[in-house]
Amino acid sequence: MKKVAFYTLGCKVNQYETDSLAGLFEQKGYEVVDFNKKADVYVINTCSVTNEGAKKSRKAIRRAVRKNPEAIVAVVGCYAQTEAERIKKIPGVNVIIGTTNRKNIVDLVEKAGDAEEPLTVVRDIMKVDEYEKISPIGRTEKTRAFLKIQEGCSEFCAYCIIPYARGPVRSRDLKDIVLETQRLVREGFVEIVLTGINLVMYGRDIGNTSLVDVLERVHDVKGIERIRLSSIEPMGITEDLITALTSLPKICPHFHIPLQSGSDVILNKMNRRYTTREYEEIIQAIREKLPEASITTDIIVGFPGETQEEFQKTYCFAKKIKFSRIHVFKYSRRKGTSASRMKPQVSSEEKRRRSAALIQLSGELEKDYIDRFIGKVMKVIVEKRVKDMEGFFEGLTDNYIRVIFPLKQEKQGDVLKLKLTKRENSCVFGEPVKT
Ligand code: 5AD
């Protein structure tokens, strides 16, 4: 039996797509093995959102080539789409596939031989207008299933390479989304996480449909306990969406809403099309209905021209909003984006300093948020055993608090009622309560 190994960088959409590709190989009789093992085929699903993602992608490619110089090495995804020429120069690469034509991967891999030039299938992504139907058979995660509903982004934020890597907004057929949800229930999943490149843009390409329709239809599927959403961009959060998010009971009170900056000047330069005031109004509207909701965010530090004062505004705004966690990104100059040509670029040292300050704040805010729930009874879905802690399991509350608790026997996927007893740093402990 031929062996194939995968390495995935970047976001949850990539994970979903790797799981989909794994299914295609399995259908053709391949065995999926660990990336550290010797395999006949290596697939690297790359990321290009930051220079760091690109660097890690190149490293993973070289690692695969070293593991087995005889193997076919296929490079797919965002970095393959945007930097195919550079990848071609890495010795040992046999196939390059961007963010389309992935469903033909097995054929392409089998066709690729010892040709000098790698077999390259990278379309002009700006001209692609169909949603590529690929979905996983099995999944990496066992209790929560990611479900991709949308592809592409047409926002063109000044810093971001993703519209060039993923192309314009394409929405998955609503019927297909419902069918996959039903299949997931049959496979035993109780929680689904809706993902996409820019979720809130769902339906904009087909008209008369929006993310609200997806939420309502998925909500109707029997057997689903929880629906979570990956990032929702403030530009696309409508009143109707807020109503759906705060009134459909299966939707988790946990919303990841990228802020990027707390300075209106910088937001404008970033082409974000909202002000801090509008952002705050969205958060207030959510909290009015769901006061305990977890609001998490992404912030970029060191965007070109960001002054110390503008950074300070971001810091104070984040504190005022009381995010329960902040994903901090150091601005990364991406070739081809408008921000890469803006001046002045902020020094690496300054970016590091600003990033450290925000990470520290994130830790403090996270503790404050968690402490509000200590002593309370919350529902947790049992996920997995805790490494090196005999008899202990971990799982998530609906508002995304990770809890560790004792359990006699494995009950993966079960919904338990736990009393949250204490927090040690960002680790929360719970005890089962009798129902
Ligand atoms: N530099 C740093 N961070 C970036 N992101 C997107 N592009 C860049 C870039 N050029 C971050 C944004 C986005 C997250 C997924 O990645 O914060 O929300």
- Which pLDDT does position 355 carry in this prediction? 98
Instruction: Return d(Cα 228, Cα 127) in angstroms, integer.
Output: 31
- Give residue 435's pLDDT: 67
Share of the chain above pLDDT 90, in %: 94
Q: In the block, which residue shows the tokens 């996409």?
A: 196
Ligand 1 atom nearest 339 alpha carbon: 10
Separation between Cα atoms, residue 128 and residue 114, nearest integer Å: 30
Centroid of ligand 1 to alpha carbon of 377 (angstroms): 36
Q: What's the distance, CA 296 to chain centroid?
A: 13
Segment 52-80 shows an average pLDDT of 97
Chain segment 340-378, per-residue pLDDT in tens: 999 999 999 999 999 999 999 999 999 999 999 999 999
Tokens coding 206: 């087909």
Mean pLDDT of the chain: 96
Q: Report which ligand 1 atom has the smallest distance to the Cα of 298.
A: 17
Q: 50: CA distance to ligand 1 center in Å?
A: 7
Residue nearest to atom 17 of ligand 1 (CA): 298
Phi-psi region of 279 (alpha: psi -120 to 50; beta: other; left: phi over 0): alpha
User: Model confidence over 168-195: pLDDT tens digits?
Assistant: 999 999 999 999 999 999 999 999 999 9
pLDDT value at residue 119: 93
What residues contact residue 98 under an 8 Å CB cut-off, 6+ apart? 76, 77, 80, 81, 84, 121, 122, 123, 125, 165
Q: Are 219 and 248 in contact (CB under 8 A)?
A: yes
Rounded to whole angstroms, how far apart are CA atoms 286 and 313?
23
Closest residue to atom 7 of ligand 1, CA basis: 160
Among 272, 314, 329, which residue has the most ligand 1 atoms within 8 Å of its CB, making it the best to mutate? 329
Q: What is the DSSP code string of 282-318?
A: HHHHHHHH-TT-EEEEEEEE--TT--HHHHHHHHHHH
- State yes or no: pLDDT of 70 exceeds 80: yes
Say how far apart CA 352 and CA 359 lie, in whole Å.
Answer: 10
- 26 contacts 58 by C-beta, under 8 angstroms: no
pLDDT computed for residue 426 by the predictor: 80
How many angstroms is it from 274 CA to the middle of ligand 1? 17
Give the sign of the dihedral formed by CA 19, CA 25, CA 31, CA 33: negative
Residue-level pLDDT at 114: 65
The predicted structure's pLDDT at residue 332: 98
Tell me which of 79, 260, 271, 300 to substitute to probe ligand 1's pocket, judged by most ligand atoms within 8 Å of the beta carbon. Answer: 300
pLDDT tens-place string over residues 388-404:
999 999 999 999 999 99
d(CA 303, CA 295): 23
- Show the ligand 1 pocket: residues with CB < 6 angstroms: 49-50, 159-160, 258, 260, 298, 300, 329, 331-332, 334
Comparing 372 with 138, the larger pLDDT belongs to 372
Asked whether the predicted pLDDT for residue 234 surpasses 80, the reply is: yes
Rounded CA separation 431/409 (Å): 14
- Mean pLDDT in residue range 146-156: 97
Structural domains of the chain in order of their starting residue, each with its CATH number: 3-123 (3.40.50.12160), 126-252 (3.30.750.210), 254-372 (3.30.750.200), 377-432 (2.40.50.140)
Single-letter code of the amino acid located at 40: D
Is the full-model pTM beyond 0.75? yes
Q: Pick the atom of ligand 1 nearest to 332's CA.
A: 1
User: Would you call 420 helix, strand, or coil by DSSP?
Assistant: strand
Least confident span in 1-10, 320-329, 405-414, 419-428:
405-414
Each residue's pLDDT tens digit, 316-339: 999 999 999 999 999 999 999 999
Answer whether residue 410 shows pLDDT above 90: no
Q: Is the dihedral of CA 400, 46, 95, 61 positive or negative?
A: negative
C-alpha to C-alpha distance for 105 and 213, rounded to whole angstroms: 32
Residue 379 pairs with which residues in a beta bridge? 417
